[in-house]
Amino acid sequence: MSVPRIIIAELKSDSGQIISTLSAKPKEFRTGSRGFYANKKLEIEGKRYQVQIQLVEIGSKKTAESGNG
């Protein structure tokens, strides 16, 4: 499987109703690790929330460090 250009995450209620979706884009984190990241603000029953999702590639920091030497 090739690396996706974007990952779509769905937030669902316990009844399965979609509350919101997030589009996680590729990101290189300050730590040197690579992965995907998205954030957004949303409202649920009159209350506002800030949502974040991150997917970090396991071992990607080591790969990035070895490429700098």
* pLDDT tens digits, 11-49: 999 999 999 999 999 999 999 999 999 999 999 999 999
Identify each DSSP E strand in 1-69 by its residue range: 7-12, 18-28, 34-44, 47-56
Q: Is there a contact between 34 and 60 (Cβ–Cβ < 8 Å)? A: yes
Q: Which two tokens stand for residue 29?
A: 């984190």
Identify the band that residue 66 occupies on the pLDDT scale cut at 50, 70 and 90: low
pLDDT at 3: 78
> In which band, very low, low, confident or very high, does the pLDDT at 61 lie, cut at 50, 70 and 90?
confident
What is the CATH code for 7-66?
A: 3.10.450
pLDDT at 54: 96
CA dist., res. 58 & res. 69, Å (int)? 20
- 6 falls in which pLDDT band (50, 70, 90)? very high
